[in-house]
Structure 1
Amino acid sequence: MSKQSALAEAFRQSAYKVPGHGDLIVQNLRTVLDQIDGELESDRYGSGKIIEDFQDKMAAYLGKEKAVFFPSGTMAQQIALRIWCDQRGVAKVAYHPLAHLEIHENDALRELHRIEPILLADKDRLIRLEDVMNMPEEISCLLLELPQREIGGQLPAYEELEAISKYCRERGIKLHMDGARLFEIMPYYGRSAAEISSLFDSVYISFYKGIGGIAGAILAGDSDFIDTSRVWKRRHGGDLISLYPYILSADYYFQQRIGKMQQYHEDAKALAGLYNACHGIATRPVEPVSNMFHVHIDMPKHQLEPLLIQCYEETGVGLTSYLVEAGDTSCAYEVSVGDRYASLPKERLKEALQWLDKKMMEF
């Protein structure tokens, strides 16, 4: 067994896991289906009451004319950018160097759509208005990820977001939101999903992150945009014969958790405060702007892993299942706060972090 898998196994065995909503098990779908009339007719190739009602519900929630359900956000976002490029006749888009499309999709935008990405800003900071104003090339669309996951889930000030939106609209540049975690940033901005989405021409949201569904995404925008996206969805093979397990799961957990986003944010701030009180440990951001943040620890990965395993075994608290190297002498991991945190014995959590703090002081 590798050290990495040993840490994952120790986390799995821990009695009190800190991040997330709970284990990804088949029972989650059974829980959803137990609430549904078993005679309800399935969707079929993108049509039917189940999918159409949910799409209408999400369009209204986001304040857009229409929405379409996709099996994956990767598919939805590539299609959105393709549509905007075709409309303007310029096969160039701009986004952050650590955007999902750039680092997790094997150059799909280039290989499948022949679209050239223009990378804006340094990789360790957010895109600013000045970056957009100083773009060296004409583009069809600017993609903003809210929050910017790979740098700890940071967010621009809302006023800067408004300024970028205004600048793009004055110049005919479409603005697309990678809103995989849109629900989770609403408490920080103090605005509704529709208010935030009004700054963008198209919006993608995910249902397996903060919502905790099985899979699936929504792409929303004006009627012409969504009608065109349906054509591209068929071309990409996204119209499976039925998508109802994903749709029912998304709808059920949306109803269960959308009202908890404020609590998740408050819990994330409390947890980050506990981490930041430890020697050699810092969160990014220092105060989270959503339910997620990154934990950076001044200890090499190969030395921290066995310590975490020992911590889990002695305290019963699982902090993370993995570590990534952040430098020669440091490592990091991501935390997303969900339902688990509310029932977590806080004294146990403090005990685990005090244990870790002591070890860091000895290091």
Structure 2
Amino acid sequence: MQEKLSLAEAFKEAAFQLPAHGKRNVQVLKEVFEQIEGHLDSDIYGTGKVIEDFQANMAEVLGKEAAVFFPSGTMAQQIALRLWCDRKGLNQVAYHPLCHLEIHEEDGLKQLHHIESVLLADKNRLITLEDVQGMPEEVACLLLELPQREIGGQLPEYSELEAISAYCREKGIYLHLDGARLFEVLPYYQKSAAEVCALFDSVYISVYKGIGGIAGAVLAGTADFTAESKVWKRRHGGDLISLYPYIIPADFYFKQRVHKMEKYYEEAKALAALYNQCHAVTTLPLEPVSNMFHVHVSLPKTVVEDVLIDLYQATGIGLTSYVREVDEFSSYYEVSIGDNYSGVPQDKLQSLFVRLNERLQQASS
């Protein structure tokens, strides 16, 4: 008897995969480098046309004096917070309880830089101006993540963001933007990247999440701030002899996708509406504010996995490669819309959600 596929295996075998831009395989690189002249010189330890041009372009897009390419966002953000703490002479920063630095980096900020964190707001909601005004301790820097990924990609209203920025400047608190998905939130705010970044002293963006590059990040701010960040980049071992295998795809896919964020956003709203018509399903947010949202199902993880595996095999469309447990009665997964979505025939998609609703009703009975 054939062994039953796991959810990840069933997703991989599906003819259509709904989220993201496509498979992370060698073709992602080949598509880029087939169009690049072989005589293009590499960067060398952070210098050279290929890296300097990219950094200058990103600084202009983000409305900052300068920008630095880092091999990882983890490195870039720890360094940004270290620099602000050094300037204030205060080793304490504030951020959301589900901030990447708090839950995904093995206490790197604390262990490597001896910086302590003040956690603001309940983990299930956004940081507000009231939270910032009521901070129990003095901090050198406040980090805000736009969107707040771990709670479905929620966003504060722009007026709230402006008020927090103004308060931080009044009180001499540096404000740093975790903008890993910054470009994805611009359609909701109806602002340019530079307009949003003007509210912050420093900003980090990912070049592989919504943009779809291979790996890497950009840290932007004033010229003196970024110059200092390069020193720490060397200290962290991030000043590789050459970073062009990451920079060239980042530049290529940025130019290809940055103008599609409005399209991804509208598609995310359409997809969330389909989910919310299904039994036992609610999206968070109910209507997405970017190209991402969470799908919450009032059924156990194992039940949802079995439903999805059968659905993939019946329709050839994969919705997610994983499901996470909330508790013994409920589960969730994340959806992030990219190039893949428009490749799925709409009639097949509508049929899939009719089947999903039916299967969830059966599983609940």
Identical aligned residues as a percent: 64
Q: Partner residue of 1:36?
A: 36
Aligned pairs (5 A) from 1:236-275: 236-275=236-275
Tell me how far apart the structure 1 counterparts of residues 34 and 360 of structure 2 sit (CA, whole Å): 47
> Which structure 2 segments of 5+ residues have no match?
none
Please give the secondary structure, in 1, of the residue aligned with 2:164.
helix
Aligned pairs (5 A) from 1:117-156: 117-156=117-156
Deviations 1:29-55 (A, max 9, x none): 111111111101000111100000000
4 and 287 in structure 1: CA distance in 2 versus 1, 3 angstrom threshold? farther
Please give the secondary structure, in 1, of the residue aligned with 2:175.
strand
Q: Is the CA contact 2:307–2:360 (under 8 Å) kept in the aligned structure 1? A: no
Q: Is the CA contact 1:4–1:305 (under 8 Å) kept in the aligned structure 2? A: no
Tell me how far apart the structure 1 counterparts of residues 283 and 201 of structure 2 sit (CA, whole Å): 33
> Which structure 1 segments of 5+ residues have no match?
none
Which aligned segments of 4 or more residues in structure 1 are displaced greater than 4 angstroms? none
Tell me how far apart the structure 2 counterparts of residues 345 and 15 of structure 1 sit (CA, whole Å): 11
Q: Is the CA contact 1:88–1:140 (under 8 Å) kept in the aligned structure 2? A: yes
Tell me how far apart the structure 2 counterparts of residues 254 and 299 of structure 1 sit (CA, whole Å): 38
Tell me how far apart the structure 2 counterparts of residues 360 and 30 of structure 1 sit (CA, whole Å): 41
Q: Give the letter for the 2:217 counterpart.
A: A
Please give the secondary structure, in 2, of the residue aligned with 1:208.
coil
Q: CA deviation at 1:132?
A: 0.3
Q: Is the CA contact 2:175–2:201 (under 8 Å) kept in the aligned structure 1? A: yes
Q: Partner residue of 1:199?
A: 199
Q: Give the letter for the 1:165 counterpart.
A: S
Tell me how far apart the structure 1 counterparts of residues 4 and 179 of structure 2 sit (CA, whole Å): 31
Please give the secondary structure, in 1, of the residue aligned with 2:156.
coil
Q: Give the letter for the 1:39 counterpart.
A: H
Q: Partner residue of 1:115?
A: 115
Q: Is the CA contact 1:59–1:67 (under 8 Å) kept in the aligned structure 2? A: yes
Q: Partner residue of 1:218?
A: 218
Q: Partner residue of 1:17?
A: 17
Q: Give the letter for the 2:60 counterpart.
A: A
Tell me how far apart the structure 2 counterparts of residues 297 and 177 of structure 1 sit (CA, whole Å): 31
Q: Give the letter for the 1:12 counterpart.
A: K
Tell me how far apart the structure 2 counterparts of residues 143 and 4 of structure 1 sit (CA, whole Å): 44
Provide the TM-score with structure 2 as the length reference: 0.98
Please give the secondary structure, in 2, of the residue aligned with 1:278.
coil
Q: Partner residue of 1:58?
A: 58
Q: Partner residue of 2:300?
A: 300
CA RMSD across the alignment? 1.0
Provide the TM-score with structure 1 as the length reference: 0.98
Q: Partner residue of 1:317?
A: 317
Deviations 1:264-309 (A, max 9, x none): 0000000000000111001000000000000001110111211111
Tell me how far apart the structure 2 counterparts of residues 285 and 306 of structure 1 sit (CA, whole Å): 25
Please give the secondary structure, in 2, of the residue aligned with 1:126.
coil
Q: Is the CA contact 2:94–2:143 (under 8 Å) kept in the aligned structure 1? A: yes
Q: Partner residue of 1:289?
A: 289
Count of matched residue pairs = 361
Q: Is the CA contact 1:4–1:322 (under 8 Å) kept in the aligned structure 2? A: no
Q: Give the letter for the 1:224 counterpart.
A: D
Tell me how far apart the structure 2 counterparts of residues 278 and 347 of structure 1 sit (CA, whole Å): 17
Tell me how far apart the structure 1 counterparts of residues 167 and 73 of structure 2 sit (CA, whole Å): 26
Q: Give the letter for the 1:141 counterpart.
A: C
